Structure 1
């Protein structure tokens, strides 16, 4: 055998040793995706350790159905671990989660932005503190149930879109760093549909095989953002005026936190000939500014806190020609990025987008492959 030939072939997670000697911490939310990852790796013979995070008040969690990391989900994750025969731990991250995710969520809304707390949770909790916990447990890597792919490229680990565009979660994982990517694994990224995942869950006999997907942000019951913000920041919902772009008063509102850029319904200013949309939230003056749909369109998007995943330094060029997503539900569209510094830029869209909102992410995609070049945060109104 040549000296440079490993004693064992590369295993499915990329390590040159048997699965039994490869420890994997699996982040288990209690849903079908992460449960399948844990079961799949356990069946392959890996040394699996399941970890579930308790992210907010356990009593409140038990009262809420269908949200990740709630009390029911902790129980489901534990049952999967018992059935597949690997250890499972529940870690109390309530204080970390509140400080790193929930407080910023509330403050962003109060500042007139529309935040994406799931991105911050991945960035600041799961791929930071939990990842360090996995290393403390002497794991070789950490695996999650996210629908995204990782590839070892000539310049190191690369982030790629999932095989199933309908399930792809790249928008929520753009801030993953190269250092984190070297330790992370995403075993579901190659699957073509959620049906395949559920079929695997049934194959492994998992009781979560038919469990519905979580729809809401985990700490926001029934999608009622305003009620959560008022709980976190009492007195936040102060009334004010609804005005048009010329400053004419059209009505009153019950608090800026009840509105988002692009909103049309629920404005309470009926009787006008043309439909109006929220085009700006003037927090300082407690005003909701409305206008025609055309006022929502923009091609210039200022972006900051950029996480760049390309080999060349971000600001080594005057322009990067890429595709971008400015909302999770929209497909990538052609754009030009013009760096202003290593972490800030102006993004010019080839075609105007409506409802681009501060607090949302702008994610960068290669135009010729499935690779993701990172992204940043949209940070001011227009």
Structure 2
């Protein structure tokens, strides 16, 4: 019987290394692939090419680590330069959103545009019908409907949240082998298998902002310095000066530099008026929000309101709400009880128990949107 061919997206970390190892154990014909997404060291070429154990010193550290794993496992390893689409589809929208007072989640766009679009095209070019990643989630097929579903991992590192943009065609081609494992177990497996990245530290959340200083990154990227403006309260009274809207996000308390009788938080960022609106913890609560760019995992799109549990950020708990589908790509959400710090630009993701239903980008909350 001919083995199924799968291309494993290898970041150079332990998760994708073990994913490749597990798929070999499961009988797949495996090859590894690493994408150069952000300039670090010069790539050898922009074309796909094969690298074995004799590593070229110009290859990035992550690609070198992935290739060492591939050599250890005895599989082919390919490198593709995707810096252009990554910059256009992930980094530029990230910068634009921050300049507009929005807090984006670039990992969602990376999964939408790069990992499950550009990566699948690379798999096609290399002749691999399946693509595997190291996401902590599982892709299962419903026995009754025949549709594919994303199921959240039970562990603390569940990553189903960033997969809500996928559709049935993509899901029919992906393999997610890590859903049943936690990080401690994976590191032990990697060590036992002799994988050279077994002790490598976890990567940072946003790969292209190495120091975590978003405002400094924005200035380096587009050459525009942050412009100071006014902190205002909910009534429009100026209560201080801020150092630029790019430095603030909804729910933030630290770093405001405002003395007040009670703790103040960022409750909104108004790029049009160049203001950061501050308020109390109570003013940070809301029950309703508008979504755009809504996607549903199933081909059977809902047309009537339905109940689901909703996460408003990656680390937030899923809480009950009613989702009202509107025109294509839009929805209105009403939570059963008010929730804290709903943030425009983040994703709201819908679940039915452990199963991912879909999600969308938070466009606005039920707050006054006029300049104050």
Pairwise same-fold verdict (TM > 0.5): yes
Aligned residue among 272, 283, 301 for 1:313: 301
> Deviation of residue 42 (structure 1)?
2.6
Are 2:148 and 1:157 equivalent residues in the alignment?
yes
Are 2:162 and 1:172 equivalent residues in the alignment?
yes
User: In the alignment, what sits opposite 2:173?
Assistant: 183
For structure 1, list consecutive stretches of 5 or more residues without a partner in the other structure: 1-16, 62-69
For structure 2, list consecutive stretches of 5 or more residues without a partner in the other structure: 44-58, 368-372
> Mapping of 1:270-309 within 5 angstroms?
270=259, 272-309=260-297
> Deviation of residue 208 (structure 1)?
1.1
User: In the alignment, what sits opposite 2:64?
Assistant: 75
Cα distance in 2 for residues equivalent to 1:147 and 1:44: 18
> Deviation of residue 311 (structure 1)?
5.3
1:301 touches 1:348 (CA, 8 Å); kept in 2? yes
Q: Can you list the C-alpha shifts for 1:271-312, whole angstroms capped at 9, x where unaligned?
A: x21111111111111111101111110010111111112353
Q: Structure 1 residues 340-349 or 116-125, which shifts more?
A: 340-349
User: In the alignment, what sits opposite 1:329?
Assistant: 315
> Deviation of residue 197 (structure 1)?
1.1
Q: Can you list the C-alpha shifts for 1:113-161, whole angstroms capped at 9, x where unaligned?
A: 1100011001001100111110222213110000011111133111111
SS at match of 2:211: helix
Cα distance in 1 for residues equivalent to 2:26 and 2:137: 21
User: In the alignment, what sits opposite 1:374?
Assistant: 358
Cα distance in 1 for residues equivalent to 2:332 and 2:283: 20
Q: Can you list the C-alpha shifts for 1:22-58, whole angstroms capped at 9, x where unaligned?
A: 2110000011000001122234442211110111112
Cα distance in 1 for residues equivalent to 2:104 and 2:73: 37
> Deviation of residue 199 (structure 1)?
1.8
Cα distance in 1 for residues equivalent to 2:291 and 2:35: 31
> Mapping of 1:260-275 within 5 angstroms?
260-270=249-259, 272-275=260-263
SS at match of 2:195: coil
> Deviation of residue 60 (structure 1)?
9.2
* Structure 2 CA distance for partners of 1:236 and 1:283, relative to 1, 3 Å: farther
1:314 touches 1:342 (CA, 8 Å); kept in 2? no
SS at match of 2:84: helix
2:251 touches 2:266 (CA, 8 Å); kept in 1? yes
Aligned residue among 321, 340, 345 for 2:331: 345
* Structure 2 CA distance for partners of 1:60 and 1:359, relative to 1, 3 Å: farther
SS at match of 2:91: helix
SS at match of 1:221: coil
Cα distance in 1 for residues equivalent to 2:184 and 2:40: 31
RMSD of aligned alpha carbons: 1.6
2:218 touches 2:224 (CA, 8 Å); kept in 1? no
1:313 touches 1:342 (CA, 8 Å); kept in 2? no
User: In the alignment, what sits opposite 1:66?
Assistant: none
2:101 touches 2:245 (CA, 8 Å); kept in 1? yes
Number of matched pairs: 349
Give TM-score, length-normalised by structure 1: 0.88
> Deviation of residue 178 (structure 1)?
1.2
SS at match of 1:151: strand
> Mapping of 1:1-382 within 5 angstroms?
17-18=1-2, 21-59=3-41, 71-153=60-142, 154-155=144-145, 156-164=147-155, 166-191=156-181, 193-270=182-259, 272-310=260-298, 312-315=300-303, 317=304, 319-366=305-352, 369-381=353-365, 382=367
SS at match of 2:218: helix
